[in-house]
Amino acid sequence: MKKPSVELKLPIIPNMELIATQTAEVIARHMNLNDEQSGEISMALIEACINAFEHSKSDSNVFIHFLIEEDSLIVKVIDQGIGFDKTKVEIPKIENKIGKEERKRGWGLQLIQELMDSVEFESNSDGTIVTMKKNINK
Amino acid sequence: MSGFIKSTKEENQIVIIETDGYLNNEGGEAISTICYEKMNEGKNKFLINMAGTKVVNSIGVSILIEIIEKLQEVDGKIGYYNLAPIVSKTFNIMGLTKYSTVFATEEEAVSGL
C-alpha cells in the first residue's frame, strides 16, 4: 500500500511557515507523536522554510512534502532558489556573537540538525532540498 | 503598543514585558524597542513573560541576543519565564541560557533576576 503523504505549496510571503507548522501539528497528532516531538518538528520546519524563503526569488514557491512512514516522519522542504554550500556554513556559537561585530543571525541549520534525528541537504544552482527525519518513539 | 506586546509593567525596578504570538523579526523588534527605550530611561533589568508565545524563530531570538549584548554595556540583565518547552530548548541550543536566565514563574523571576 502506498504510504500516505501531504504536500504543500507555499508562496514567499512573510509568516507562511506557520501554515507548514499547522499542517505538521495535524500530522503529528495523526501519528500519535508526543508534544516534544511535535514541537521539534515544527521548529525545524520553521527554520527550513525561512532558509528556503531567503534563498528563493519572490515570485517562486516553496514546496513541503510530509511522508508518513511506519516508524518515522520525513519532511522535505524544496526551494528553487540559488542554492548554498553547506561546507561554508560555520557552526554558530553565541560566544562568537556577543560583543563582536559578527551578525547575530545564522542559527537555522544548527537548530534543524539539533532538533531532528537526521538531516540531508541537496543543493545546487537550481535549488535546495532539505530532507529532515524524525523517528517515532513508541 | 504592537499586537505582539500584550502588556508592560514595572516591579522592583524590573521592566516586565508580556508577549503574545509568534516571536519572529517583528516580535523581536517590538521587544527591543521597549527595552532600548527603558534603557535610555536608566532601566537595566528586564523580564519577558512568554506565556502567550508558543512559536519562535531564530531571527526573533537573535534580536534577544542583540538585547543581551546591549545590556552587557550597562551591567544589565534579562530573563524569561513561562516558556513553552520547545522555546526553552531553542534558547538552550542557541546559547541564550549562558548569558540570560530562564525562570519557571514570575515570582521566581522577580526574586531571582
Q: Print pLDDT tens along chain A (138 aa).
A: 678 999 999 999 999 999 999 999 999 999 999 999 999 999 999 999 999 998 777 678 999 999 999 999 999 999 999 888 888 888 899 998 888 877 888 899 999 999 999 999 999 988 999 999 999 875
Which domains, ranges and CATH numbers included, belong to chain A?
A: 5-135 (3.30.565.10)
Please answer yes or no on whether B94 and A111 come within 8 Å at the CB atom.
yes
Q: Is A110 on the interface with B (CB under 8 A)?
A: yes
Domain CATH code at residue B95: 3.30.750.24
Question: Using CA atoms, how far apart are residues A36 and A33, in angstroms rounded to an integer?
Answer: 8
Chain A interface test: which of B22, B25, B58 (most A C-beta within 10 Å):
B58
Least confident of A125-129, B74-78, B95-99: A125-129
Q: Is B110 on the interface with A (CB under 8 A)?
A: no
Q: Which triple of cell numbers denotes residue B35?
A: 527595552
Work out how many domains chain B is built from and give that number.
1
List CB contacts (< 8 A) between A36 and chain B.
85-86
Q: Which triple of cell numbers denotes residue A135?
A: 523517528
Question: Using CA atoms, how far apart are residues A108 and A111, in angstroms rounded to an integer?
Answer: 5
- Domain containing B64 equals 5-112
SS3 A41: helix
SS3 A135: strand
Question: Using CA atoms, how far apart are residues B106 and B87, in angstroms rounded to an integer?
Answer: 17
DSSP label at residue B56: B
